[in-house]
A and B are shown apart, each in its own frame.
Chain A
């Protein structure tokens, strides 16, 4: 069973349905006992980093997720959920993340050329600096759906996908059993479903 962490941010309907569409059993839960029993965990999220991090802490779920990830349970962060895996974010202040992926979350605006719209929203092509099991059903240049104004930096060693938006922006990261995608696989058509399928199929630590 795949547990989707419910800590009061965002709508988890599409994500739940997309996991079921690839044949996975998905449970939306804020219960540490269910997370404990789950084979894998997905950390979703939309909105502002500070608010989401505070909600995760208020429920004590930050400790549960960090502990289970430390024990080797596969964890996939999606969108803001990926950003929460990092050390910290500078979105409206300084906010600590879970520290599972070394690096920080910074605004896109200063690094993209004038005339590029922020948020970075829409379908963009993925580039893979190194192969990773999460993308084993994809080919270079496959498009996925992004909506974000901040991005992961200082994480080159763990970057497994980028998307060109002026510079190459971090699109996905992985460190051992902790994986994260900046885009929305649950809104990325067949390509997105193939990413979720790969996550569901992956056994244990890679």
Chain B
């Protein structure tokens, strides 16, 4: 049986991890390479590197650290941020990414999903969606969650999968940062319309939220979080042991 995945997400700007990281024993807490190695040793099942750099120089730094990470960390790496063209896919895949996550780039050009899926395979294309409740429905938001596109999130995700997205990251803006648990209602609505892996993002505050996620929604494949891992509020080895003890299939290292 496939294990449920626990995925830390690292925001990288100009080659450094942003948002403070609070770990004992790491000599350089803002080094993406060191942090990636640390998480891999802790049992993270996959890593997401999210490039929030705006400049070309920052982009180059990002691909450098990606290469360095892929050379020393041997678990799947997903890369997102600034992916607007098939050439962007090519750029990060060559540096060792296994999967590429598109968000705003696919909103601007929905054909990007199909183009990338045809060239690299569905399993390589992750559609990342920031969604929020508006008048009783879920809307897709762009620009890091600041702009309502007016698009229905469920329809957008269904179309994305039909076009070749092999995996969905659903980030609920409503629950993001609240630390009150994942957005089970929104996740369920997505799980009902797609048959590709769904990764839950936004809202995790403690281990019990992951237990509730996987027990309530068996179709969800993974839980993603950032700051609760970075600040040590939830330890990945403890989290995985807790989940395993509750009968959730886990990869224990």
A interface residues with partner B (beta carbon < 8 Å): 11, 13-14, 17-18, 21, 46-47, 117, 119-125, 143, 145, 147, 164-165, 186-193
Contact = CB atoms under 8 A, between A and B. Distances in A.
A187 B97 CA distance: 11
B36 to A, nearest CB: 12
Given A145-B75, A190-B253, A117 B1 contact: no
A191 B40 CA distance: 12
B2 interface: yes
B93 interface: yes
A11 B90 CA distance: 11
B139 interface: no
A168 B9 CA distance: 33
| Chain B at the A interface: SS class | loop
A192 B253 CA distance: 12
A143 B253 CA distance: 9
B188 to A, nearest CB: 15
B2 A120 contact: yes
A121 B2 CA distance: 8
B74 A13 contact: no
Nearest to B121: A47
B214 to A, nearest CB: 14
B72 A123 contact: no
A122 B121 contact: no
Contact of B74 (A47, A120, A143, A188): A188
A187 B74 contact: yes
Contacts of B94: 11, 13
A13 B96 contact: yes
A146 to B, nearest CB: 8
Most interface-central of B93, B123, B221, B251 (chain A CB within 10 A): B251
Contacts of A21: 72, 74
B2 A124 contact: yes
